[in-house]
Structure 1
Amino acid sequence: MRTAPLAVDGRPVATTVVADTYLARLRGMLGRTPLPEAMFLVPCASVHGVGMRTSLDVAFVAPDGEVLGTGVLRPYAFLGAPRGTRAVLEAPTGSFARWGLTTGARLARPDTSPLHA
């Protein structure tokens, strides 16, 4: 898996692990110690917490990088995505509050191209 810088509304906030293969998306954050700063799952339209021991912040992302919704994924729970979701960003709980990531924010690389393009 590769990594990419993450910017929220043009502000660099973290380095993400990009899960862009079936197996990488299937594993997600499961069994990672310590957790990465963030994980970007693309393409992805829903997430589950099966096997997880901790909750995660989750953002549902449109093709242009707009955050369509956010939530907290609890262990063994499932979160479906809003219509138009192309990717999902996961991070340790509390990360989104520190980064100012809310619905309507834009996720991008510092070079301004969409993270998932």
Structure 2
Amino acid sequence: MQLINVNTDQMIADDVKSAYTFMSRFKGLMMKKSIAENAGLHISPCSSIHTFFMKFSIDIIYLNQNNEIVGIEESLEPGKIGKRFADAKSVIELPAGTHKRTSTVIGQKVALQD
């Protein structure tokens, strides 16, 4: 899937995998050696994340039910617990630095396209 910022028409990532089952949400990016610069993982349902057993930092975009960005965390290091955002229904995990590179901000809307 591709992750597109609807407000700016910018592609945030063009290789987003889905984690919609219990096992795929549980596993997430744990034990992976890295994540490609253009990749991401959409986890749903999900309102918070952790980076235990991860080997790299990530950016996290928290989305509400309308795919509007309600929270962003930059460069969350391995072994940490992410913030909780009351309206978050899903998250997208991206390589560290994606937020700054794409100028994505809270309040914008994203689309996941095949």
Q: What range describes the TM-score normalised by the shorter chain of this pair? A: 0.7 to 0.9
Deviation at 1:31, TM superposition (A): 2.2
| Structure 1 spans left out of the alignment, 5+ residues | 112-117
> Percent of counterpart pairs with the same letter?
23
Secondary structure at the residue paired with 2:82?
A: strand
Give me the whole-angstrom Cα distance separating, in 2, the residues matched to 1:102 and 1:89.
14
Note closer, same or farther for the CA distance 1:91–1:108 as it changes in structure 2 (3 Å cut).
same
Q: Which residue of structure 2 lines up, in the alignment, with residue 71 of structure 1?
A: 73
Q: Which residue of structure 1 lines up, in the alignment, with residue 2 of structure 2?
A: 5
| 1:1-117 equivalences in 2 (<5 Å) | 4-9=1-6, 10-14=9-13, 15-36=15-36, 37-72=39-74, 73-109=76-112
| Range with greater deviation from structure 2 (60-69 or 27-36) | 27-36
Note closer, same or farther for the CA distance 1:33–1:54 as it changes in structure 2 (3 Å cut).
closer
Q: TM-score, normalised by structure 1?
A: 0.83
Residue identity matched to 2:20: D
Question: Runs of at least 4 residues of structure 1 off by over 2 A?
Answer: 9-13, 31-34
Q: TM-score, normalised by structure 2?
A: 0.85
Total equivalences in the alignment: 108
Secondary structure at the residue paired with 2:24?
A: helix
Deviation at 1:110, TM superposition (A): 5.1
| Structure 2 spans left out of the alignment, 5+ residues | none
Note closer, same or farther for the CA distance 1:51–1:109 as it changes in structure 2 (3 Å cut).
closer
Q: Is the 8 A contact 1:18 1:39 kept in 2?
A: yes
Q: Is the 8 A contact 2:59 2:99 kept in 1?
A: yes
